[in-house]
Amino acid sequence: MLPQISQLLQLQERDQRIRALQKELKDIPKNEALARNQLAGDLAAVESAQQKAKEIEVQIKSLELDIQTRQNSIKRLQDQQFETRKNEEFQALGTEVQRYQREVGGLEDRELEHMEALEAAKAVIKEAQARLAATQARVDEELQALSARAAGVRQRLEAEQTERETLADPIEPGALDLYNRLFAKKPDAAVVAMENGICGGCHMKIVIGTLQQLRQEEGLTQCESCGRILYLVE
Ligand SMILES: [Zn+2]
């Protein structure tokens, strides 16, 4: 094997590791967003439960107002009853008082039902908040782990990059330049093995001329289909 090929293969191995680490680092914000998304459902449940309780409170206020209005009427009718001397009018006022009192009774029953519903709604809020808190704790843990992973990846990346410089240093500039350009364009590798007359990168058949050039080992040989640098596996 050409010494240049083994130098480039070592460099490539390092570059592939660097590429994987960079991808891992790039995926971390995406994973953080996914972790935070787990909160959305629980947050919505809390908000919906709070909304429900608020609606019931508004209904209770409205019922209280209706009761108050009728009690004012009762008071006014009773005052009139007290002042009148006509028996007929006294009776009529009394009937109206009773009618309002029945209404107040009905409204109070409804108010009681609403109070019970409010208690139930408050219990639902509490449950939803507890679920949210549990999810929040889990999400915080995940975020912490992701942040630790990011720090670790950055550290490893820095070390790999330093070692890469050391490996690249002795490589002939022309070969290094060709390799760098190829590696930047290819998602897998710039230097690939040729086995059974097939390029290990693009899997196309290698033409005879290229094959001969490869056997002569006089310089770097590229696949005529994909341009990757080839080496022989005997
Ligand atoms: Zn090829």
174-229 per-position pLDDT tens digit = 999 999 999 999 999 999 999 999 999 999 999 999 999 999 988 999 999 999 99
Q: What is the pLDDT of residue 165?
A: 97
Q: Judge whether residue 26 has pLDDT over 90.
A: yes
- Ligand 1 centroid to Cα of residue 232, in Å, is 13
Count of CB atoms within 10 A of residue 225's CB? 15
Distance 27 CA to ligand 1 centre (A): 30
What's the CA gap between 102 and 109, in Å, rounded? 11
If you measure from the C-alpha of residue 182 to the centroid of ligand 1, how many angstroms do you get, rounded to a whole number? 12
For ligand 1, the distance from its centroid to the CA atom of residue 223, given in whole angstroms, is 5
3-state percent breakdown (helix, strand, coil) of the chain, nearest 5: 80, 5, 15
pLDDT band at 1 (very low <50, low <70, confident <90, very high): confident
Return d(Cα 15, Cα 9) in angstroms, integer.
10
Q: What is the mean pLDDT of residues 46-74?
A: 98
Q: How far is the CA of 21 from the centre of ligand 1 (A)?
A: 26
The amino acid that residue 104 corresponds to is: V
Confidence (pLDDT) at 233: 83
Measure 193 CA to ligand 1 centroid, in angstroms. Answer: 10
CA of 113 to the centre of ligand 1 (A): 78
How much distance in Å is there from the Cα of 205 to the middle of ligand 1? Answer: 8
How far is the centre of ligand 1, averaged over its atoms, from the C-alpha of 198 (Å)?
8
Residue 232's beta-bridge partner residues? 194
Q: What is the mean pLDDT of residues 30-38?
A: 94
List, in order of start, the domains of the chain with CATH numbers: 19-159 (1.10.287.1490)
Query: What would the mean pLDDT of 47-51 be, rounded to a whole number?
Result: 97
pLDDT over 70 for what percent of the chain?
Answer: 100
Q: What is the pLDDT of residue 113?
A: 98
Q: Are 100 and 35 in contact (CB under 8 A)?
A: no
Residue 234 has pLDDT above 80, yes or no: no
Question: For residue 57, what pLDDT band results from cuts at 50, 70 and 90?
Answer: very high
**Banded pLDDT at 230 (limits 50, 70, 90):** very high
Residue 225 Cα to ligand 1 midpoint, Å, equals 5
